[in-house]
Amino acid sequence: MKKERMTDPAFLRSDQYKNADNLKARIALHERFSTNPENWFHWLFDRLQLPEEARILEIGGGPGDLWQENQDRFPTGWQLVLTDISEGMLLKACDNVGRVPMLPCCVSADWTPFPENSFDAVIGNHMVYHIPDRARGLAEIQRVLVPGGKLITATNGENHLKELYEIILGFDSNYQMVSGQIDYTLESGEVLLNKSFDHVQRIDFPNDLQITEVGPLADYIFSLWSIDQDFFQHNRKQFEEYLQNLLDENGAIFIQKSVGVLLAENPG
């Protein structure tokens, strides 16, 4: 298991995100067991705060969940380009986002075939940490943004899902895992963006997980890009029994979340 999986386009395209299944497993856990009843995609949409007419680029838009959840709120004056390196994700996005005028484009986030000053906003929802060449990716974002254009990136904080990793190590203390060790967090991302963007602002989405069923939690863990699939599939029964014991002992499994957005403005 290597941390490089997180930024390996071949792995992300052909394995982790060849379709929406792994992402759906993770979203399902958050939707069912989050302590904050507010919909994440509605909250994120409200942070965009763009004018009635705007050209928007979403990098790594996946199956289009942000727009599917906000189809009825999408202004008629917005123009959306949704990119992803996975054709399977883009096909799913086209199915999901029927009422939103969208141009799908299968490209990497660190290179986009668009002219300078093409967009009023660029959105990266839990995406920037997947860009292998971060400096090139951010430079590309600045190139296609108009002066004064907005960059909206959602990411996790450094303590996100801390208890989840403790649970896995509790099952096997010798297990080597790197999940969660992203290098574009709310903390480090704020520092990075301040080097080349203006008016960088961090906004946290208060939330945690209070899990009362074993199955969705196991599915979530098995969907992670950094785990050894063979190890967990071979030990799935024992692992689910271990989770059930934790659940029986505590009544629920608590996992803290740290998630939010970093808003920044392209210098102009």
pLDDT in single tens digits along all 268 residues of the chain: 344 554 555 544 444 454 445 567 778 889 999 999 999 999 999 999 999 999 999 999 999 999 999 999 999 999 999 999 989 889 999 999 988 999 999 998 888 899 999 999 999 999 999 898 899 999 999 999 999 999 999 999 999 988 988 888 888 876 665 444 688 999 999 999 999 999 999 999 999 999 999 999 988 887 775 566 666 677 888 989 999 999 999 999 999 999 999 999 999 7
Go through the chain and tell me how many residues it has.
268
> What are the beta bridge partners of residue 55?
79
Q: Which pLDDT value is given to residue 210?
A: 96
Main-chain dihedrals φ then ψ at residue 104, nearest 5 degrees: -80, 145
Q: Which pLDDT value is given to residue 225?
A: 56
Main-chain dihedrals φ then ψ at residue 177, nearest 5 degrees: -135, 150
SS3 label, residue 79: strand
Helix intervals (H) in 97-227: 134-144, 162-171, 186-193, 214-223
> What are the beta bridge partners of residue 80?
56, 102
Say how far apart CA 210 and CA 228 lie, in whole Å: 25
Domains of the chain: 3-160+180-208+258-265 (3.40.50.150)
Distances (CA, A) of 201 to 90, 106, 122, 126, 154: 30, 30, 15, 16, 12
What is the token pair recorded at 260?
A: 């939010």
Q: Which pLDDT value is given to residue 109?
A: 83
One DSSP character per residue, 30-68 reads: HHHHBS--S-HHHHHHHHH---SSEEEEETT-TT-HHHH
